[in-house]
Amino acid sequence: MRISTIAAVATNGVIGKDNDLVWSLPTDMRFFMETTAGHVVITGRKNYESIPEKYRPLKGRTNIVITRNRDYRAEGAIVVHDLRDALDKAHAMGETECFIIGGGQIYRHALVGNMVDTQYITHVDASPEGDAFYPDDAWAGWSEEELRAHEADEKHNHGYVIKRYERPTT
């Protein structure tokens, strides 16, 4: 099973502030929804709760929420207490590619733990203030392919480039 992260990251590494996103990029959101459709998505409890209630669990995908809280319940989602357990559950379901969808703590855990094969990164041309970050240079030394690019316009407050990074095979 391929283990992928998918994230939109500012040039200063910021991914969010006050448990919310710091930009509005509708076509990038569409890329996220298309890419993860039909797959298992794994999320930290804070990121899960940042999704507007009417959109969670994210439709058309199996949502797995990670929390240390043994009493936590999320209707329509699977709750686990460990990232490894989330990955094992995805594997047991026959998943071929699962997506770690954030936030900062869960991305870090997965990348520092060398669990990730592929990173889908939307590089956002902005340096906003924030309090949640993607790990620095997490793609250094990985092979990269540009997938899409988008200029800032009336619906997108920043331009961006989406790249897919693959872990070196050696």
Ligand X SMILES: NC(=O)c1ccc[n+]([C@@H]2O[C@H](COP(=O)([O-])OP(=O)(O)OC[C@H]3O[C@@H](n4cnc5c(N)ncnc54)[C@H](OP(=O)(O)O)[C@@H]3O)[C@@H](O)[C@H]2O)c1
Q: How far is the CB of 98 from ligand X (least distance, A)?
A: 15
Q: Say how many residues touch ligand X, by CB under 6 A.
A: 27
State yes or no: residue 25 binds ligand X (CB under 6 A): no
CB burial class (10 A; 0-12, 13-18, 19+) of residue 38? exposed
CA distance 94 to 73: 24
State yes or no: residue 132 binds ligand X (CB under 6 A): yes
CA distance 95 to 159: 33
Torsion, Cα of 61, 29, 50, 56 (10° steps): -30
State yes or no: residue 98 binds ligand X (CB under 6 A): no
> Which position among 61, 89, 109, 156 is part of the footprint of ligand X (CB under 6 A)?
109
Nearest to 42 by CA among 103, 111, 123: 103
Cβ proximity to ligand X, 99 vs 170, nearer residue = 99
Binding segment for ligand X (CB under 6 A), chosen from 86-94, 103-111, 143-151, 159-167, is: 103-111
**Residue 67 one-letter amino acid:** T
Q: Using the structure block, give the residue that is written with the tokens 């930009």.
A: 23
Q: How far is the CB of 17 from ligand X (least distance, A)?
A: 6
Q: Using alpha carbons only, how large is the chain's radius of gyration in Å?
A: 15
Q: How far is the CB of 142 from ligand X (least distance, A)?
A: 18
State yes or no: residue 147 binds ligand X (CB under 6 A): no
Cβ proximity to ligand X, 120 vs 168, nearer residue = 120
Segment 40-79, which members bind ligand X (CB under 6 A)? 44-47, 50, 66-69
